[in-house]
Structure formats: structure tokens, C-alpha cells
Structure 1
């Protein structure tokens, strides 16, 4: 009896194409499918039922790769993924990549080796290990991105409108009188960082009196601390807009080290609204992302793809909210007694 390799050689296609003709014929072009079927009939090829079973049996596991599991932003998303997966009978294999490309590839390769049925990645790169799968299966590839948004990735995603969120935040700072603003971004190779920076710059595009200084690094507390010291030494901004709450927490620490008051001397704005944001001093003004919902919807999208309930790419944009607390205030207007004239229209959340 003919083997799958002999059939593939005779039909001048790969063994994978033979398998698709037998298991998922809708994915194969009609001309190719008919030619392959003719060869199968002519050679009398019969697939091994045991091997076919192994190929089609689901593992009941999904892989989730995370750039930094220590970051509360990511851990809240993972919690949403985990809860949705468990409700649907799936287990989660969690991979902390630490932003390392080699680690990203190792976790993504678990999909090709059939150690998992699907992949959710929270970083900005589509791993090379799954590019062929995405190219071959398109929107039916069991791969979803959460947090970032780039149509060029070719996979479904869940995110907020980062450009609009940053634009809203920057407009709030400008409306409070801030004209000298430091912006601390994540690495600009990330679409998320680029979108936020574009939104921030759009907000002041027509404001000739605005002075913006941009510094970039990773999204860590340490980066926020170091870059705020650099801003204070160089341009003395009246406000610092950080692209993550962890960066903003670092910025607050840097201001304390410099004996500068927040917000009386320098305002600080974060992004994400992680749990600790309301408990730092002063409580952090920030943009709230629905982290748990991002995880839940990403998992739902992936499970729909695995169950073959979805045949088109879906880009889900969730709402965000500017949460006003105590770390942002107007540029101080000093009266005769030296007190600040506060702008009551920017009322902090209690």
C-alpha cells in the first residue's frame, strides 16, 4: 500500500497538503485538491487511522506567552485568560519570555509540535515559529494577540485605542496649563508605544507653545525613575506622562529623591490603572485599561477559532477611561501667600 510520502511525490505537493486534503479539504484550492484526490485513488492510499487520530486529537491546552509576568498589567490579563480557559475545559501553559525572542519562539513552537491547541501572545512580535501557520490558515490559525494592535500581524487581537487614550491624557495636561511636558515611552519598536506617542503628539500638534521631550526605554519602574531624573536635569518639565503605571511609580520616586512635590511642583500621569495605582502617594492619575476583559475576550476568540466557529480576523477594541486622582494638577499659580490656585474642573477620583 502506498505511503503518504509516495502520494505527495506523485502529486507534486507536500505531505502536509495531502493531510489537509483528507482532513480539511476546504483549505485546499480546488484544482490542487482534485489532483491530489486522483493520485490518492490511483495509488489506493489509505491513511493510518491511529496517526490521523493523533493528529486531530486536541490537547486541551493553550499557550500564553507574556513579556514580563512580574508586571501587574500582564498578570491581570493572564487571570482573565485563565478563568475563561478553565470554564471551557482548557488548561493554560504560561511562558514568561522576559522580552527575549528565543523564548518567544520556544513557546510558540509548542503549537507546531502539538503540545497545545492554540497560542495567545501578549508581546508585539509574531514568532517565526507560527508564521507558516498564519500564512497557510489565515484567520483560522489558532493564534491571538492581546494588548498590542497591528493588522500586519495577520491574527485576531484584543486591545484598546492606545492612540486615542494617549491623546486624551495629553489634552488633559495641556488644559491644566502644562506646556513643558516630559513623555516617557516604552521601546518604540512596539506598535503600542508608537500609537501612544502618536496620540500624545497629535494632542499638541496645533499648540505652538507646547514643548515635549520624549525619552524611551522599557516599561519598568527603574526606567521611569532614571528617565525622570534625566528630564529633571535637562528640561525641568512641569508634568511627566509615563506610558505605564510602573514607569509612573518610578517617576514619583525620582521626584521624592529630588525633593520635588507631586503635583505641586511636577505632575505625573501613568497608563494602565494597575491595582497599586490608587494606593501610591499621591494616588496616580492614569488611563484605565480593562485588563481582565482583554484576557477574557482574547481567550474567547482563540477558543472560537479552535472550535472552527470563526473564519474571519477580528480586531476587538475595548473602552478605556482617564482616571483622575491626586498626582496631576494644574501648573501652580502663586498668590500673595504662595498658595496654588487649583483648577476645580479637574476633580480627583475619591
Structure 2
């Protein structure tokens, strides 16, 4: 979809300042690079850093580094999902992991806007778990979950596995809670949920950049960073032109289809619970695995309504669909690698390649290739 010479051209505006990440330099540079890819997709006249002293034309398109609270979106003039790559939530907690679970029985504290009915509605779509905002509530939740094995504690805004710990007893829980602090716990909350092993994490998503629309499923992979830790290493996606309706009409493996349905029902529940919620980028991590006792589970781990690890593949797929109107499905991948000896395919789009002060040498790229013929891929 090309902009005619008579139509005003968009200007892409990069916004920093979200609370989710530590904002390593490679993350900042990655956000800028992806904003540049969006500018190409939109045939924008410019891609600039946000300046609070500057006024922007009506065609501006924001690329924030985090899900935006409603008051921030209003201040920026964001009125619909046509105005940003990401999402807007009516209450801050909605944009974090705590929205995935309900509260434990007899919970003492809940944040403004909390919907108890949401936890009940999604209980079969997520892993066994609870969100908690006080030490006592965390102990109640842990006591219920620890009956069946180790529990995973998750800070609400961690990315790529950061801010998580596996606990086996009350002592280990208290160690984690002491590190968080009661004031932060009451403000942000934590998640406690069944810890799985032999886990496969699916990515399911839908992305719309004004007139460009795609949806996808795929599997995440891990890699080893320069400190020897297992971290997010990218995603391999099958991307179709159109909405999740179009995606569900395609042929896919049974496990992937189950993950897509799980994510879609969770997405429907969020939109029903929070009418003020909007998002042009909706991504859900859906895990399949077994617990300590060998019981199998499947459920949404978390949501991402902001620019994320799979966004290079998402935007690359949208650009491929724009360049070839007959194309209905592609295979798109994002790859994140650490260290010196890294092979980058000749057809890759490099998002970041450099030495970060904290992470060391990092290389990030995406690839897009025509996908297999599939039934009913076009919307």
C-alpha cells in the first residue's frame, strides 16, 4: 500500500522511558532500527526521537518501548491502534504479567481496576497460579502451589526470563520477597505459578500497522549469552496475511493450533474485561510442558502489547506482503546471538550488531522467505 504524492506522509516517532527493561544500549538501538523498518513500511517522511517540546503532525506514528498507560497515550494524542506500534491499557497492571492470573483466596490487596472475573474466565487458559500484592497473599498462593512441586516466581515486568526464580519452600520465597521489598510488592505485585520442565513456548500474535495486517504462530528458541546464561534467542514464525481468523483457517500442527486457540481466547477475555484496551501489536507466549509430577499443562505465560523480540520478523513479513500482493504466507524468523563467531545469512536484515556495555557482543537479525502453500491463508 503506497502513499500517493498528494496524501500527507507519516512521521515515525520513537519513544523511550518504559518500565519493563533496564534499557541496555542494544535494546535502545534495536528499538530505533525497528522503528526505521516501520518507517519504510509506512513510506514515512522521517523517523525521529520523541521531543516533548515539539508538536507532531496528525499523521505521526509512535513506537514506544513499553505498553502505554491511558493517560500517557492521551497526552501524546494516541486515539486508536492506527497511532502506534504497541498497546494502550486503562490501568498500569494490565500491561504486566500480573494480569494473567487471579488473586489467591482471601486476598488482602488488589490494584485499582482489578477484575476478579477475569481470573475466573482465564483460569483454564493459563498455568495454575496466582498474582499477589502483599507478603501474606504471596505466602497463601505459594502454600497452595507448593503442594504439587516447585513454583516459579516472576516479577511483573521482566523480559526474556529476567526477574524470575524457582522456589521450593517458604524460606526461598521469603528470600525473594525480601529482595523485592514490601512497597514494590504492593505497587507492582508478583506472579507465582506452576513450574514446568520439558517446556515448548509458542509465540502467537497479530499485528496491524495501519492498512497492513498479519497474524502468526511459531516457536521460541533459547541461546547462551556472553555470561553463560540461557536467554531468548529468537522465534521462527509462520506468518499469514490477515487476522487470526485467517491464521486459524490454515493448516498447522495440532500443538500449534491448540496454542493459537488458547491465545485467542485469552485475548478475547482481556478485551472484554478492559474496554479501554487497544493494541496494534498483540503477542502471546503459550507454554506446553510437564510439572515435577509429570502432569501436562498448556497455558498463556504472558502477553506483549509493545515492540518485542519477534517484531523484526513481524515487520519483515508485512513488508514482504506489501511488496508482493499475491503472497499470502511467509516463514519469518528473528535471531539473537552472542559472541564473536556469528554467521549472518546473506538475505538477513540486521537489526543490531555491536558491543553492548553490559551484554557484550550481540547480533540480532531477521529473515523472511515465502512460506508453504496453505489452505485458506487469504482473509
TM-score range relative to shorter protein: 0.3 to 0.5
Tell me the TM-score normalised to structure 2 length.
Answer: 0.32
Select the structure that is richer in helix.
1
Larger Rg: 1
Q: Which of 1 and 2 has higher RCO (CA within 8 Å, sep 6+)?
A: 2
